[in-house]
Amino acid sequence: MSWEILVTCLLISSEFIPDIGLRHTTAMTTDQLTGQLPIVHDLRNSKGHGFQCMVFDGLYMPPFLMTGETAEKTLESIRDIELNDDDVIICAYPKCGTHWVWEVVEMLRSGVIEYRKQVKDTQELELIYKEGADALSAPRTLNTHLYLRMLPKQVVEKKIKCIQIMRNPKDACVSMFSQFRDTIAPVGFEGDLAEFTEIYLSGQTYFGSYSDYLLTWKAELARSPGQPVLKLFYEDMKRDPLKTVKDIAGFLDLAVTDQFCEDIAHSCSFKKMKQVDKDLKEQFIKKKFWKEGSAGYYRKGEVGDWKNWFTVAESEKFDRIWNDKMKDSGVTFTYSP
């Protein structure tokens, strides 16, 4: 998601809080969807560390996402986006590799080894709504952290291709912690990793918990038989990027050469993309977002970095909670390179 926008909007809304009367509550209710300011739920822990979220259709989300301007600019409008047969939607929980897959798909479909100047946020459904999606030219590589039931109705009706990227939850948790630690207030997280992990596993954060994300997608897909979804794992993509590029090309019915796939795998390596992010990418919103000197979105890009962060006891506790929630999920992750 575009965390720059989040910062901007939170900064703006915090200026206006007394006037617009944002209501703070810990109750989990669905907000009014149109023309109403969202209820902001204060989910901070006893130390005052944590997040303030709105609720959309049962999901915790950054409060800026619905500003009550017009119906077209609300999350609800996403359901009515008209889709083209060649639209593709990348679906992932935050920090699982959306930037990477998005660049690969864009290159594959453009037919040339050329990086997009735009960031993937320019095609992220919960940031652009119907209005923004309608304005994009085809072919669109849309992306989202939302559940299937919140996506355009035509995803299911027209059997639009979705690509889902998943990542082992310990690396994803560390990645998300690092992002919030490195971003400026009011989005930044001032607590430690142990506190964050608790928040992460319980879902008291933007887009809820990763386990709920995976279980909800599984349940919703089961109700939409025949939905074309390519499931990818970050760890597989790291181990064999060429195979993943070829799998994506096959899924999208693209006639591409092995050499072209190899060039894409190489051009979309972590090192290259980190450099491109500095040299070429246009920011979606030009606001200070990252703390001085932080690594930004392209932090480390490795499998197993969590071992540098969790103690053995913390790791075992994580496993117990995660495995308990996910025991019937059928998903298994790789935790080491």
Strands 88-91, 141-144: pairing is: parallel
* Nearest residue (CB) to ligand A3P, 79 versus 140: 140
CA separation (Å) from 13 to 16, 66, 106, 186, 293? 5, 11, 34, 11, 27
Contact flags string 14-53 toward ligand A3P, x per CB under 6 A: ----------------------------------------
Q: Does 54 bind ligand A3P (CB under 6 A)?
A: no
CA dist., res. 38 & res. 30, Å (int): 9
Could you give the count of Cα atoms lying within 13 Å of 115 in the half-sphere of its Cβ? 22
Instruction: Report the SS3 class of residue 281.
Output: coil
Rg of the chain, C-alpha, whole Å: 19
Residue from the set 41, 73, 99, 116 that interacts with ligand A3P by CB under 6 A: 99
Q: Does 5 bind ligand A3P (CB under 6 A)?
A: no
Question: What is the closest distance, in whole angstroms, from the C-beta atom of residue 211 to ligand A3P in the complex?
Answer: 17
CA dist., res. 139 & res. 155, Å (int): 15
* Nearest residue (CB) to ligand A3P, 33 versus 309: 309
**Sign of the torsion angle spanned by Cα atoms 230, 203, 40, 33:** positive
Residues 94, 174: contact at Cβ < 8 Å? Answer: no
Question: What is the closest distance, in whole angstroms, from the C-beta atom of residue 95 to ligand A3P in the complex?
Answer: 4
Taking residue 286's Cβ as centre, other Cβ atoms within 10 Å add up to 9
Q: Does 181 bind ligand A3P (CB under 6 A)?
A: no
Q: Does 178 bind ligand A3P (CB under 6 A)?
A: yes
Question: What is the closest distance, in whole angstroms, from the C-beta atom of residue 258 to ligand A3P in the complex?
Answer: 20
Q: Does 197 bind ligand A3P (CB under 6 A)?
A: no
Q: Does 301 bind ligand A3P (CB under 6 A)?
A: yes
Q: Does 98 bind ligand A3P (CB under 6 A)?
A: yes
Q: Does 79 bind ligand A3P (CB under 6 A)?
A: no
Q: Does 95 bind ligand A3P (CB under 6 A)?
A: yes
Question: Looking up tokens 């130390």, which residue turns up?
Answer: 47
Reported as type and span, the H/E element at residue 262 is helix 258-267
Residue from the set 51, 100, 200, 310 that interacts with ligand A3P by CB under 6 A: 100
Question: What is the closest distance, in whole angstroms, from the C-beta atom of residue 148 to ligand A3P in the complex?
Answer: 18
Residue from the set 268, 284, 310, 322 that interacts with ligand A3P by CB under 6 A: 268
Question: What is the closest distance, in whole angstroms, from the C-beta atom of residue 100 to ligand A3P in the complex?
Answer: 4
Residue from the set 184, 224, 231, 270 that interacts with ligand A3P by CB under 6 A: 270
Give exposure, 74-98, as e/b (b: 16+ Cβ within 10 Å).
Answer: bbbbbeebebeeebbbbbbbbbbbb
- How does DSSP assign 188-246, residue by residue? ---S-HHHHHHHHHHT-STT--HHHHHHHHHHHHHTSTT--EEEEEHHHHHH-HHHHHH
Q: Does 175 bind ligand A3P (CB under 6 A)?
A: yes
Residues at the site binding ligand A3P, with contacts judged by CB under 6 A: 92, 94-100, 171, 175, 178, 268-270, 273, 297-301, 305
